Amino acid sequence: MTKSSTNAVAAADEQRIFYGWIVVIAATCIYAISAGQIVSFGIFVKPMAKELGWSRASLTGAFGLYILAMSLFSFVSGILVDRVGPRLLNIVAGLALGLGFFLSSRVHAPWHFYFSYGLLGGLGFSFLFVSLSSTIPRWFIEKRGLALGILFAGGGFGGLVISPLLQSLIDRYDWRVAFLVLAALACCIILPAALFLKKEPKDMGLLPLGQNKAASPTERKGEGEKSPGSDTRGPGRDYTLGEALKTGSFWMFAVTIVLALLGVMMAQVNMVPHATDKGVPAATAAVALGLAAAFNALGRLVMGAASDKIGTKRSLCSCLLIAACTLFWLIVVNKSWMMFLFVIPFGFAYGGLVPQIPRVISELFGVKSVGSILGLFTSLTALGPAFGPVLGGVIFDRTGGYYLAFLLGAVGILIAFILVLLLKNPKK
């Protein structure tokens, strides 16, 4: 593209809303539904166990299969989004989630739930999560952290709305009706929103936001100090999937996220059963879960934007340190006020952690193959959220409490914090 044509495109962009923000809004609506139901999974544990006579370990095992299925399909999703774009993948995801939730409302045996929620749900979430989180960085050089923060804040907002809604439906009707409502939401929101998605700016004759602005030497120096990688790396600095796999930075960051998400998701899924076991009313626990989702959304937005100012590495370290401290506090929670004091910083830290992951990947390895790199990365790191909730359930079934589970989760997050401090830019 010539200099004059580049200037023309830039001038045209200033006269209308940048389409990347339309992509962000559509992606946020999609993610709100998909992530909101993950946040709310703990609400189903006790009523399903009571009616069906299943152990908590078997129920959280379905959630573990959900994460494992997501990990298996994430690599495929990453390859497909680099080739065909996010629209088709999100349509397939909406259909898979809708069908999975509908079938979950009809389950009577564990394998039914493992297939409907675990397999179909994991397939649907993998197709939309990887495609959305790898598409947004393609549209933004400036305000990339803010754009990712808005996207992932949708998940927190979804949990804020969906958690009390599902609890109300379970209290008034039963958990089967709650799953039917989730199925309707998946089809009625995800499918229309997917039609607005575009893979990258050049599909519409545009440039990524900020690409037409040359950074000053001072700005470039500041960016290098603030994050594991550079937001403005040129085409020669982009890594292929094979090149990324040969770097120590890829594997160190993968271990970091496995440990972080193992502890976070262990607490996320088991905190409602833990609180009610300690005497906190179920309605109060559900409100607290919704409050956690609200601060989760706030954390994603605030820390996503903060990473544009203070750097991704500092933002990520802050979130990990807060999350570890909250898990130590969760061990002693036995009153309603203590539960609320837990969910506020925990939700903020968990939320703030999420947008840093695709940002670190795009900064370390560039955006040319970000879909396939992030897809494989998601497949590998799904081991953390897959086994964290199950480990918590197994420890409860054997010890009668979650003390050891939350202690192990907190220690794992502290180790992740140390690994982030040691993370370096790869040398190509």
What domains can be seen in the chain, in order of their start residue? Answer: 18-200+219-422 (1.20.1250.20)
Please tell me whether residue 107 adopts helix, strand or coil conformation.
Answer: coil
- φ/ψ bin of 110: left (φ > 0), alpha (ψ from -120 to 50), beta (otherwise): alpha
The answer to whether residues 46 and 60 touch, using CB atoms and an 8 Å cutoff, is no
d(CA 401, CA 93): 36
DSSP secondary-structure letter at 239? P
- pLDDT at position 36 over 90: no
- Collect all residues with Cβ–Cβ distance below 8 Å to 8 and sequence separation of at least 6: none
Residue with more model confidence, 232 or 66: 66
- pLDDT at position 262 over 50: yes
- Among candidates 39, 322, 261, 304, which has minimal Cα distance to 151? 304
Structure confidence at residue 213 (pLDDT): 56
Structure confidence at residue 229 (pLDDT): 44
Q: In the predicted model, what is the mean pLDDT of residues 43-61?
A: 84
Q: In the predicted model, what is the mean pLDDT of residues 406-414?
A: 94
- pLDDT at position 26 over 90: yes
- pLDDT at position 222 over 60: no
Structure confidence at residue 63 (pLDDT): 82
Look over the chain and give the mean of its residue pLDDT values, rounded to a whole number.
Answer: 83
Structure confidence at residue 406 (pLDDT): 92
Structure confidence at residue 233 (pLDDT): 45
- Among candidates 144, 84, 106, which has minimal Cα distance to 367? 144
d(CA 106, CA 99): 11
- What the block records as the tokens of 202 is 């050049």
Q: In the predicted model, what is the mean pLDDT of residues 307-328?
A: 91
Q: What is the pLDDT of residues 69-93, one digit of tens each?
A: 887 888 888 888 888 889 999 999 9
- pLDDT at position 230 over 50: no
- pLDDT at position 232 over 80: no
Alpha-carbon distances of 401 from 38, 92, 261, 394, 414, rounded to whole Å:
23, 40, 21, 10, 22
Structure confidence at residue 200 (pLDDT): 84
Percentage of residues of the chain with pLDDT beyond 70 = 90
- pLDDT at position 15 over 50: no
Burial status of residue 180 (CB atoms within 10 A of its CB: 0-12, 13-18, 19 or more): middle
- pLDDT at position 223 over 60: no
Helices (H) and strands (E) in the chain, counts: 20, 0
Q: In the predicted model, what is the mean pLDDT of residues 219-245?
A: 57
User: Which residues pair with residue 209 across a beta bridge?
Assistant: 140
Q: What is the pLDDT of residues 93-138, one digit of tens each?
A: 999 999 999 999 998 888 899 999 999 998 999 899 889 988 888 8
